[in-house]
Amino acid sequence: MKPPIRVLIVDDSAVVRQTMSELLSSDPEIVVMGVAADPFVAAERIRDEVPDVMILDVEMPRMDGITFLQKIMSQRPIPVIICSSLADEGAQTTLRALEYGAVDIITKPRVGTEEFLRESRETLCDAVKAAACARIRVIRPVERALSADTVLAKRSSSAMTETTEKVALIGASTGGTEALRVFLEAMPTDAPGMVIVQHMPEKFTTAFANRLDQTCAINVKEAENGDTVLRGRALIAPGNHHLLLKRSGARYFVEVRDGPLVCRHRPSVDVLFRSGARYAGRNAVGVLMTGMGNDGAQGLLELKQAGAPTIAQDEATCVVFGMPNEAIKLGAAGRVLPLQNIAGAVLGACK
């Protein structure tokens, strides 16, 4: 029997510390080894005993969480989950923590309905278990070959009247924010239309999409209900909402929908992939990237059975080899590739 995952909670709110401790302690695979009201107290605790996972607030007295994260990752790297409020103004700062080595983002649990607390517990415990399995390392970006895309302005989405003939559907979870950055930055301006589910809390998907839009040759935006899937554009599922691919004649579009957790997630990769199998079939390309659990594995199998090329990220380049591994075991992955080769494989499959 494996020993329980030891967690250190660092947050200046006593209510948050207590609520989080109670939610985590309800899982027999997790033990809260301690709490700290600020990074200085946390540093003292880490000297005595290094936790398996640390949950870290962003805004705290004496030292902010981002600064503390940078110190930890440069001196004694451990899996860190950033715990943040839903404030829009803090989303960009929180996303920066992922670039500095944090493995995931969760929103602060709060007292609410029984259903809300149940979902908070599942999200929190799953994030801790994923972080405990994570490979703490930096994913190096793929160097794009210099081309005219380097100096040309992006094409306006409104100018692209033709829909894509092929649609790339991508799913990712823990470690996926950096994996998606590498993947999307390698895409040229005429890349096939892409629809993406990344497990991420509400509000943060807007900031995530905006940040990618600034660094990629393609357009990247948070999906809105009815958005058309176009060449040179990637649509990212909004946090806390499922995203489905639909078709009307030659036009592919997306539907943003509420609903229960599927495979313990909302948005769920399985929901996107299943809709892709139904409405795009062999005209889709399915990609399943790094992440904990099995979300997307069954959906990738359905895409393959519908005639779509399917790709799973390999173990060596995954932060957590969970979702791709489950898909491979099901026989859902037509190809298993390292992260740096996936963009080229998708472009090849869409020719």
Q: So which residues are the catalytic ones?
A: 173, 199, 295
Strand partners, 256: 243
Rounded distance between C-alpha atoms, residue 117 and residue 111, angstroms? 7
Instruction: Compute φ and ψ for 237, nearest 5 degrees.
Output: -60, 130
Contacts of 161 (CB under 8 A, 6+ apart): none
Q: How far apart are the first and last CA of the chain?
A: 49
Rounded distance between C-alpha atoms, residue 302 and residue 281, angstroms? 9
Per-residue tokens: 42: 């946390």
Work out whether the CA dihedral 187, 190, 192, 198 comes out positive or negative: positive
Rounded distance between C-alpha atoms, residue 97 and residue 104, angstroms? 9
Rounded distance between C-alpha atoms, residue 78 and residue 54, angstroms? 7
Is 281 in contact with 306 (CB distance < 8 Å)?
Answer: yes
